[in-house]
Structure 1
């Protein structure tokens, strides 16, 4: 027991500093991916409900593609594909240089693509839950389409989509573990290095599991509070 506590302690004797740094990377990656995924998912939902057939087709192809591909394969395509594409482009311009894509950025982009494809369905379902009379009421008040969307539709949209988006956030938090395969020093990679060096895989992967569980519990509590806050009007009535 004392040996295990020493191995996970902070300082030169243990791996606590490295594990903590990995936790920071994991949380940072999830938080950095979230706004891009939400924004892209919202735009995709607007395209899916658009009257323009080409926009609907493009959005449906996008979501089918990234919902159908394994997340790990999407990560590889972004990380290696962008590097190869940039190098070939520079060679066409006459520059023979090596380009390496930042693993954090590649992970964020790949996870945002996957997250947005699922988030678009959550937003689309929320759009369908808003009566057409809400739009007509905004237009009757003299509001433009943009103001009607921002002041009337969007608050209701977020409220309706929040449960599904909360589940997607928890999935995103766990999927950040995939970036360890492209060299990003996240929680899983740091735990793996510690396990190989100390020959204690059960200890360090068990610690990683416990940390992910704690992060999920904290996220669930925060999401419950946000959902309760969003329904404060119903409680008052």
Structure 2
């Protein structure tokens, strides 16, 4: 009964806090994925371009942010960004510490990491497009913008969905590291509940279960999206025959 009370939604329960924290985890992960998608598309375009400088910059970005520990990047963005904002504030006449919002700093940090992985996903998806389709589009007079909208983007999205699902799962787990900024996401809420009640085993197990629920539901959503994207493709039809 004591366990049910601790996990309940009453005055002595921690259920509401954990539920809100799970929603916060989803929010910060979705924001990070969106930031990473923009950065990933830009970096993938740079790596696919004919410019040696752009290729080098793209390779440096993916190498650094896939190689440096995620926690270090979060520290750099949160504390380094707060120091930069404080310096700007002092230059403008404000005397005091100005910290970056935990949500913004966390989403940006995880988004930058996510962007390094999404860049490779988008690059691989573009290379998977049959060259004949692009050549045929050019042959019938499609300009670059039309070719991008009607052929490249739909095909890249189709091929990228499985990889994006993996990046989402990675970002979902990386969001636990944002607890160091004080953001009340799932890991932070589990720590607070465990520390307040001294029921460490209980709340960390519950936190792990909630993460598993989120990853399992996410996996099903991406699998459904992949099937939907492939339903009108000849390869999908052949595979079902």
Measured against the shorter chain, the TM-score band is over 0.9
Provide the residue aligned with 2:17 in structure 1. 18
Provide the residue aligned with 1:41 in structure 2. 40
Alignment partner of 1:169 is 2:172: no
Aligned residue for 2:50, secondary structure, equals coil
Deviates more, 1:149-158 or 1:90-99: 90-99
Shift of 1:143: 1.5
Offset from partner CA, 1:48-75 (integer Å, 9 cap, x none) = 0101111111111111111111000000
Give yes or no for contact 1:104–1:184 (8 Å, CA) kept in 2: yes
Give the distance between the partners of 1:141 and 1:91, measured in 2 at CA.
59
Give the distance between the partners of 1:208 and 1:141, measured in 2 at CA.
56
Give 1:16-165 correspondences, 5 Å limit.
16-165=15-164
Provide the residue aligned with 1:231 in structure 2. 230
Give the distance between the partners of 1:60 and 1:99, measured in 2 at CA.
34
Provide the residue aligned with 1:222 in structure 2. 221
Shift of 1:89: 3.2
Offset from partner CA, 1:207-236 (integer Å, 9 cap, x none) = 111111111111111111111111102344
TM-score, normalised by the number of residues in structure 2: 0.93
Q: Which runs of 4+ in 1 moved over 6 A?
A: none
Give the distance between the partners of 2:86 and 2:9, measured in 1 at CA.
42
Give yes or no for contact 2:62–2:116 (8 Å, CA) kept in 1: yes
Unaligned stretches of 5+ residues in structure 2: none
Give yes or no for contact 1:134–1:153 (8 Å, CA) kept in 2: no
Give the distance between the partners of 1:40 and 1:19, measured in 2 at CA.
31
Give the distance between the partners of 2:131 and 2:172, measured in 1 at CA.
35
Shift of 1:107: 0.4
For these two proteins, the number of residue pairs brought into alignment is 236
Give the distance between the partners of 1:195 and 1:106, measured in 2 at CA.
25
TM-score, normalised by the number of residues in structure 1: 0.95
Shift of 1:95: 4.2
Offset from partner CA, 1:133-155 (integer Å, 9 cap, x none) = 22221222222112111111111
Give yes or no for contact 2:86–2:99 (8 Å, CA) kept in 1: no
Offset from partner CA, 1:5-61 (integer Å, 9 cap, x none) = 111000202111111111111111111111111121011101001011111111111
Give the distance between the partners of 1:46 and 1:84, measured in 2 at CA.
32
**How large is the RMSD of aligned CA atoms in angstroms?**
1.4
